[in-house]
Chains A and B, each alone.
Chain A
């Protein structure tokens, strides 16, 4: 039996992530929603979704005492960050007048600037299906390069270490839509809402040994 912990630290779409993982997991996999540090510490894999504003999310992580458990998990187990669960892995977010984040990756989270191209305005939030240009990684297995995933966000991740980029998306500007290092893989888009390709990525995560 292996356990997968979905970290509950915000008012996010945990139900969707839980549903998607349950639809893929075999009978030997226990998928739990983790609200306590102990549940994260005991899990074999950790999924770190999140939605809402950065300040609220960081506050919830610290108040619930989850921050250390999350950082520990990311050091030695397969770890998947989704949406705000990617952004708070950075050092700092511009959202809510500036928020210090977990600092697992160097770099910042920045707001999309207003942008007009060939007479049409880029709408913010970036909402809908955009392509991801893949950088070789085991979690992309069986997903064609440039496949579309579902995005909803107004801030984007700018990692300082370009080696950490595992996927790029172009909206307003080319940005790092996926970052990865060792057993951590984190994406801005929502695999649990990205149809077939998203499910493939989640399935790959459930089988991943954490090596690149």
Chain B
């Protein structure tokens, strides 16, 4: 169709610094978000996502300054998620140079917030992050619920119904994380990814569980994802973004080379 499937590296940020050990051999300071973002850009990342895990609200100014610094030097789309609760939070980040913001818990506690945000800044800026976990028995028809609090709290909301609702409320895109797979390196929950991609008309970013390059391919071909997000396989230089793209290309997936 002419549109490249996107590869998006994700970086955890605490107090304006990248954490969770990103290791590039020739980077002087492994926590510097500007250096790391620039490196991913050079490798061919299609976007970069920052997940703000800063605990205190007080320190969120630091995140804004970090976004400003990255946006001055890296000219590909930047998404920032984590702790966004008000339209003012969103405006601040977009004005700092973010292109999109990820809304997670705030959407669950107050779905109208997504509508308000989308009406104010446009749906192209609004990514709704969904943390889903399979709750059905292995032999029963599949069902996934939305979980909050890092996967500890079941909201009782059906993930597919939720995605449809968020689309009508003005989400421009969905970042779908499988809580069953996150951190396992066993690959995406492909059944979940496919079900959600078929359920909505907006793009889906698949996340959670990538351990090999084949997992990225599967996310697109079997899961129907429009973009794939990964953290650890890129951070430790197991694979470069360029290698991931070559592998996807060799497997018949259209990517930006």
Q: Chain B residues near A51 (CB, 8 Å)?
A: 121-122, 124-125
Q: Chain B residues near A15 (CB, 8 Å)?
A: 68, 71, 94-97
Interface residues of A (CB under 8 A from B): 11, 13, 15-16, 19-20, 22-23, 51-53, 114, 117, 120-131, 148, 150, 152-154, 169-171, 192-195, 198-199
| Contact call B6/A129, Cβ cutoff below 8 A | yes
| Contact call A123/B124, Cβ cutoff below 8 A | no
If A124-B201, A130-B4 touch, whether A193 touches B224 (CB-CB below 8 Å) is no
If A128-B6, A128-B227, A129-B256 touch, whether A122 touches B1 (CB-CB below 8 Å) is yes
| Cα A59 to Cα B121 with chains together (Å) | 15
| Contact call B201/A170, Cβ cutoff below 8 A | no
Taking the closest CB of chain A, its distance from the CB of B38, in whole angstroms, is 11
| Cα A117 to Cα B121 with chains together (Å) | 31
- Give the number of A-B contacts (CB < 8 Å): 105
Whether a CB of chain A sits under 8 angstroms from the CB of B218 is no
Q: Chain A residues near B173 (CB, 8 Å)?
A: 125, 127
| Cα A128 to Cα B99 with chains together (Å) | 12
| Cα A163 to Cα B95 with chains together (Å) | 37
Closest to A115 in B: B1
Q: Which of B3, B95, B121 contacts A128 (CB 8 A)?
A: B3
Interface residues of B (CB under 8 A from A): 1-6, 41, 46, 68, 71-73, 75-77, 91, 94-97, 99, 120-125, 172-173, 198, 201-204, 224, 226-227, 256
Taking the closest CB of chain B, its distance from the CB of A154, in whole angstroms, is 8
Q: Chain B residues near A193 (CB, 8 Å)?
A: 75-77, 99
Closest to A14 in B: B95
| Contact call A52/B122, Cβ cutoff below 8 A | yes
| Cα A117 to Cα B221 with chains together (Å) | 15
| Cα A85 to Cα B179 with chains together (Å) | 40
| Contact call B202/A198, Cβ cutoff below 8 A | no
| Shortest 3 CB-CB contacts between residues of A and residues of B | A52-B122, A152-B124, A129-B4
| Contact call A199/B75, Cβ cutoff below 8 A | yes
Taking the closest CB of chain B, its distance from the CB of A92, in whole angstroms, is 20
| Cα A33 to Cα B119 with chains together (Å) | 24
| Contact call A169/B172, Cβ cutoff below 8 A | no
Taking the closest CB of chain B, its distance from the CB of A30, in whole angstroms, is 18
Taking the closest CB of chain B, its distance from the CB of A25, in whole angstroms, is 13
| Contact call A150/B202, Cβ cutoff below 8 A | no
| Contact call A123/B75, Cβ cutoff below 8 A | no
Q: Chain A residues near B91 (CB, 8 Å)?
A: 11
| Contact call A123/B202, Cβ cutoff below 8 A | yes
| Contact call B3/A126, Cβ cutoff below 8 A | yes
If A13-B99, A125-B124, A127-B172 touch, whether A198 touches B75 (CB-CB below 8 Å) is yes
Q: Chain B residues near A13 (CB, 8 Å)?
A: 94, 97, 99
| Cα A150 to Cα B244 with chains together (Å) | 20
Q: A23-B75, A122-B1, A125-B123 are in contact. List 16 more A-B contacts (CB 8 A).
A: A11-B120, A15-B96, A16-B75, A19-B72, A19-B97, A51-B122, A51-B124, A125-B172, A125-B202, A127-B172, A127-B173, A130-B4, A170-B2, A171-B1, A193-B75, A195-B76
| Cα A44 to Cα B122 with chains together (Å) | 31
